[in-house]
Amino acid sequence: MKFIDEATITVQAGSGGRGCVSFRREKFIPKGGPDGGDGGDGGSIVLVAADSKRTLYQFRSKKQFKAPNGAHGQGKNKTGRSGDTLTIEVPPGTLVTDTETDEVITDLVKPGDRYVVAQGGRGGQGNARFKTSTNRAPRFAQPGEPGQSAILKLDLKLLADVGIVGLPNAGKSTLIAAISSARPKIAAYPFTTLTPNLGVVQSGWGEPFVVADIPGLIEGAHQGTGLGIQFLRHVERTRILIHLIDAAALDPGAPLAAYDTINAELVRYNPQLAQKPQLIVLNKLDLTGAGRAAAAFHDALPQESILTISAVTGKGLEQLKHRTLQLLDQHENDQP
C-alpha cells in the first residue's frame, strides 16, 4: 500500500426534506384540518479515527462525499425519514483543516475520536405546524434547509512514542528493523526510505513502545530540500527523539556537523521540536575508524550522555531500548 499522508476532500451533508401541505380528508369529516407532516433531517458527515486505517490512501481516488437527503413529509402527519449519517474513517493522528479559512477544525488523535464536519440540514415543517385559531387551514409549509458543505484538508501525523531522526544513511531503517518487527527497505544509498516506517519494540523492562523512522532529512529540509518537508510533520507527534548519527562518517575535525544540521532543521520547521528530549546515539561502531570519530564526538559534547551502538551486529541495542524506556517514563505525561 502506498503511504499517503495528505489528502483534500469535499464533503456535502444532506439537505432536509420539505414539509408537506395536506389536509385531512375522510368520509363524514368535512373539515378535517391540515395534516401535512415534517420533512426528515438531512444526513450529517462524521470523521472517525479508526485503528484499521494507517494512511490516507483511500482518498487518492475518492475525494467527494455526500450524505443522503431527508425525505419529504407526507399527509396524515407522516414525518419524512431522516438521511443516514455518513461516517468516514481516517487514521488516528489526522488533522482536519478548512481549506478556505485555513482554520483547524479538529485533531483526531486517538482511536474512536469523532467529529461532525458537515451538519445535515433540518427538515421543513409541514402545514399542520402552522395551524392557529385564526388560520385553521394554512396552505404553506417550510422547505428543508440545505446541508453544510466544506473542502477539507487532511494531514496525517503518525502517532509514535519515539521518532528516529538523522541524515540519510545514518542507519535508521537498519535500527528499526533490529529492534522491532518492522521490515523497511535497506540499501547502501541515500533516500532508500521513501516513507516513514512504524515498529513496535518489545522489551523486558516495561510496556512496548512504538518507534518511527523519519526519512529524508538533510540541510534545507524545512524548505523542501530532499524529502524531509514531507515527513517532518510526523516528528511533532512523538514524545522523544532518537538522534541517530553515522559515527563512521564523522569528520574528527568537525564531529558535530551532522548533529547540528539535523537540530537546525528541526528548529526551523517548528521551534517546539527543539524542546523534545533526545537520545544521542552513535551508530556503525563496527566500521573501521568509527571508534576514533566517536571519541571526538564525545569530547565535543562532554555534557551529554551519548550511546554507541552497531545496529548491524546488535551491540548496544539492549542498552538503547532500556534508556529509551527510561526517558519515556520520565516524559510519560508530555503532550505530543
- Complete domains list, the chain, with CATH: 1-156 (2.70.210.12), 162-330 (3.40.50.300)
What is the DSSP track for 90-158?
A: E-TTEEEEETTT--EEEEE-STT-EEEEEPPPPPPPPGGGG--SS-SS----PPPPPPPEEEEEEEE--
The set of cell numbers assigned to 37 is 407532516
CA distance 76 to 39: 13
Q: With a cut of 50, which residues of the chain have pLDDT below it?
A: 1, 186-193, 218, 220-228
pTM of the entire structure? 0.70
Confidence (pLDDT) at 265: 84
pLDDT digits (tens, 9 = 90+) for 208-241: 888 888 775 645 444 444 444 556 777 788 889 9
Q: How far is the C-alpha of 22 from the C-alpha of 188, rounded, in Å?
A: 77
Counting Cβ atoms within 10 Å, is residue 315 exposed (0-12), middle (13-18) or buried (19+)? Answer: middle
Report CA-CA distances (Å) from 148 to 8, 117, 218: 17, 8, 43
DSSP 164: E
Model confidence over 261-311: pLDDT tens digits? 989 888 888 888 888 999 999 999 999 999 999 999 999 999 999 999 999
151: left (phi over 0), alpha (psi -120 to 50) or beta: beta
Query: Distance between CA 231 and CA 200 in Å, rounded?
Result: 19
The pLDDT score that the predictor gives to residue 2 is 52
How far apart are alpha carbons 5 and 307 in whole angstroms? Answer: 32
Q: Bridge-partner residues for 106, per DSSP?
A: 96
